[in-house]
Amino acid sequence: MDRPPTAVSPLDDQTLALLQGVSTATLATQLFKRGFRTRFMTGVLPLHADMKLVGVARTLRYVPMREDLDHMGVFRDPEMPQRKAVELVGPGEVLVIDARGEPGAGTIGNILATRIMQRGAAGIVSDGPFRDLEAIRAMRFPAYCAGPHANTNLTAHHPVDIDVPIGCGGVLVVPGDVLVGDGDGVIVLPRHLASELARESAEQERAEEFILEKIRGGAGIVGVYPMNEATEAEYRRWRDERGS
């Protein structure tokens, strides 16, 4: 479909820094407290469990292929949505691919992944496989997918749209949403909640550091996790002593 790309604004520095330091598990808890139960992608796995992904979503949508439309000649068309998406994604952004969870073809390969990295993108997320998966892994670039598959995307997919709401890993992703990835996988934050979630998640992890200290020191769970009033008062003193 022919439509202008959606403008997405970058994250502010404080929110970016806080999200770099918190886990997807913590963010999932904070989202659950706000009534969100379906923000973590299923079946979308990291190529590098030790690399953190934080960025703003640019989206690419695939639908099932059709033989008369999907042939090698389409790659020469600069308006082909897949190629266009690669040339639109920019610094701090994540290309998120809706592949319908289709396991029978790659959704992107190492040449396009290299171009995305060279454009300064924060990462790539797909709920389908990657082609050239080991070559993409060797790039040391935050990337998440459903595994490897050597077939070109055109054997299963017709790239149809960019910068529209999509589904990826069972999660609605709206252009401009914030993606955070770690060794567990990828979670999607509604953009209007990103700063609040970043602050509250950082505070949760600070409290959990204190709780872990007590548990490692022999304390039991009751009254500690979750904290009762006495433990909360102890935590506030602990936090103040560290200047947090």
Q: In b/e form, how buried is each residue of 174-209, taking b as 16+ CB within 10 angstroms?
A: bbbbbbbbbeebbbbbbbebbbebbebbbbbeebee
Q: Quick check: 1 pLDDT over 60?
A: no
Alpha carbons 26 and 28: distance in angstroms, whole number: 5
Helix ranges restricted to H, 92-148: 110-118, 133-138
- Could you tell me the pTM of the whole model? 0.94
Q: What is the pLDDT of residues 162-184, one digit of tens each?
A: 999 999 999 999 999 999 999 99
State residue 2's pLDDT score. 44
Q: What residue segments make up the domains of the chain, in order of their start?
A: 39-189, 196-241
CATH homologous superfamily of 39-189: Ribonuclease E inhibitor RraA/RraA-like (3.50.30.40)
3-state secondary structure of 148: strand
Alpha carbons 47 and 183: distance in angstroms, whole number: 9
State residue 243's pLDDT score. 79
The per-residue pLDDT of the chain, averaged, comes to 95
Q: Quick check: 3 pLDDT over 50?
A: no
